A and B are shown apart, each in its own frame.
Chain A
Amino acid sequence: MSGAKETAGLVERLHRQLAAGFDVNDPVFVEQVLKVRARRLAAPRQPEDDRPQGLAVLCFAIGTESYALPLAELAEVMPLAQWTPVPGLAQHLLGVTNVRGEIHPVLNLHAMLTLPEPEGSGRAYVVFLRTPGRAVGLRVDGLSRIRFIDPARLTVPHETANGLPQRFVAGISPETLILLDARQILALDLLQDRRADYRRAT
């Protein structure tokens, strides 16, 4: 008999739902939505002084970790649609990509930070570093947001240890956000001119 009771309750709910059915053209529903939106817009704005101070950095994800680069070092971000692997180069260089008619190299941060390669079909983005010459791209797995960090509270790892991959890390924030060092990245051998290479070797 409990089944019959359940059935009766279900029928009642069905009738109620039918009575409460919404429609986009229903003025009551539209008014409800508009009221919620108005309430949100009517919320007080944040004061000017409350804006966070410090170094503005762009947070992005490589693998499961969050990394960051200073906004001042960056030129542009965009989805990485496709790239062309260049034969004969080191594995740090993922390849080259075409941005508005210009060829830019794209570095493989996974390889540089000795992290495992991402899964095949995930979305990828490229972060271009601002350089005097042509912009150099870094492949990242995801872009999150812009944050402001205090450089004084950074923990610098290569003061206690040395060698790769700590070479590219500028510091680690208290939120375990790893701040990368753009200049170290740009100082990679493979990005240098061949003649400079030759000169350095002599």
Chain B
Amino acid sequence: MHTAEFSVWKKITLRRKLIIVAALFTMVLGGLIVFNAAILNAQKDQGTVGGLAARQRTLVHRAVEEMVLVGIGQPADLEATFKLLKDSQEVLLDGGMLPGAETTGLQGMMPATQNTEIRSRLMEQGTLIRALEAEAARYLALAANDTRRGDRLREVRGAAANLQQSVEQIMRLYVNDRETRLNQAIFWQVVGGIVVALAGVTISTVISRQLADPLASCAAAAREIAQGNLRQSQLTVTSADEVGVLQQSFNEMLTSLRDIALQSRSVCENLTLAAAQILTSTQEQAAGTKQQAAAVQEITTTVEQINLSSKQVAERSRQVAGTADAVSQSGHAGLQAVHEASVGMEAIREQAENVAENIITLSERTQAVGEIIATVNDIAEQSNLVALNAAIEAADARESGRRFSVVAGEIKNLADQAKEATAQVRGILEQTQKGINTSVMLTEEALKRVETGRERTNVSEQVIRQMANNIQESVQAFQQIVGATNQQQIGLEQVTQALHEIRQASQQTAATTGQLEKAAVELTRLGEQLAKTLEKYKL
């Protein structure tokens, strides 16, 4: 609520407003009371003044009597009476303490007279008092037996009569003055009362309107809401007091109600939809349960068949495990044989290597022989040359060199034979070398074959070992199969038991599904009712 937007008055709470109004009226009432008290107090003073003015008449009488008494020689306090008369006249004129309190018992302050006419009369009264006093003094100045006293007495009486008349007039004036004042007071009191009453009515009207109008609009809106009309405009927040809070809360309530109604409507739609889905699902479930029961029947049959098959499997596995054990033993024997073959191959390889080394040695020796033969051949060649040169020399010597030519021919023959022999040896050596080469190649081939044989033996050994391992594993696997098949049979019996329970459970499920279907129909109906109820809300 934005309190800053409102004036100071509208920010004040309602309780404080009421307190302020009450205080204002109390103050107005107090003013009226004070006014009345002031008027009554003025009346009291007026009474005192009246009394004082009336006492003047008495005092005039007393003064005349006391003068007569003094004239005849009787003791009387004429002086004091005149003084009291003058003091009273002064007090009436200018205000002050009441004179002669000790004799009259009257006490208090007297206000000065405001009325100009009364004042002039009072002034006149003063002169009349002094005239009376002068007459009295003249009277008393005459001897007691003087005849002129009678005249004088008449004059005193005349003066006294004037004074009396003045007093009467003043008293009449006082009475008139008091009436006038009373009338004025009554008038002002009536006027003030009327004004205060009007002000009270106006203020009450304004405040009540400020209170009642928003409340009335709230009430109207609440009536609309009660009828389900949420499609109304927001209330205007007119103040920051409780009414403003009420309007604000009302607006929030309206918004919340609208939200709630909207959400309820969508939730109701969802609910209806969900209920329909539940119904569909339940029907499907019912169909599924029937299928399930049929499937469970089939599964039970199948499981019994499986049980039969697994018994056969266990029997076969046991037989196969026995056979595989035998095969494994054969594999061990084969492994042993292959190992022996491998050892034999190794021996053959060593011998072949020895043969190869021998052949190499032989080849080296043959080469040495070849080198020697080459040397012999060179020697034969040179011998041939020597023989030829000898023949040439012999030819040069003609007849004397004839015998020498024969020797040369013999030398030549020897050289030729040596050459021929070396050629033969060379041929044999070449054949030997060829044979050695062939042997070397054959030995190499033999070594290669031995190597290949050894590799094959190794491969065979590995294969047989692998096979033995595999067979061993197979034996273990078959033993595991036998064990597993036994467990499988136990499991299958449990499965059969479980299938029986499943069948029972599916029957229960079918019953439950029927109830569920009914409940879903009921739920759908409830959702439709809720939707109808919610349609009352106009959004």
Contacts and interface: CB of A to CB of B under 8 A. Distances in A.
Which secondary structure dominates chain B's binding surface? helix
A145 B413 CA distance: 10
Contact of B396 (A72, A143, A145): A72
B412 A74 contact: no
A125 B409 CA distance: 20
A76 B395 CA distance: 11
B412 A77 contact: no
Contacts of B385: 77-79, 125, 143
A71 B389 contact: no
A167 interface: no
B416 interface: yes
Contacts of A74: 392, 395
A146 B409 contact: yes
B384 A58 contact: no
B384 A76 contact: no
Contacts of A78: 385, 389
A139 interface: no
A145 B389 contact: no
Nearest to A72: B395
Contacts of B388: 58, 77, 143, 146
Contacts of A58: 388, 391-392
A145 B391 CA distance: 10
A151 to B, nearest CB: 15
Interface in A68-95: 71-72, 74-79
A56 B391 contact: yes
Nearest to B385: A77
A104 interface: no
Interface of A: 51, 56, 58, 71-72, 74-79, 125, 130, 143, 145-146
Given A77-B385, A78-B389, 15 more contacts: A51-B406, A56-B391, A58-B388, A58-B391, A58-B392, A71-B392, A72-B395, A72-B396, A74-B395, A75-B392, A76-B389, A77-B392, A143-B384, A143-B385, A145-B412
Interface of B: 384-385, 388-389, 391-392, 395-396, 405-406, 409, 412, 416
25 contacts: A56-B405, A58-B388, A58-B391, A71-B391, A71-B395, A72-B395, A74-B392, A74-B395, A75-B392, A76-B389, A76-B392, A77-B385, A77-B388, A77-B389, A77-B392, A78-B385, A78-B389, A79-B385, A125-B385, A143-B385, A145-B412, A145-B416, A146-B388, A146-B391, A146-B412
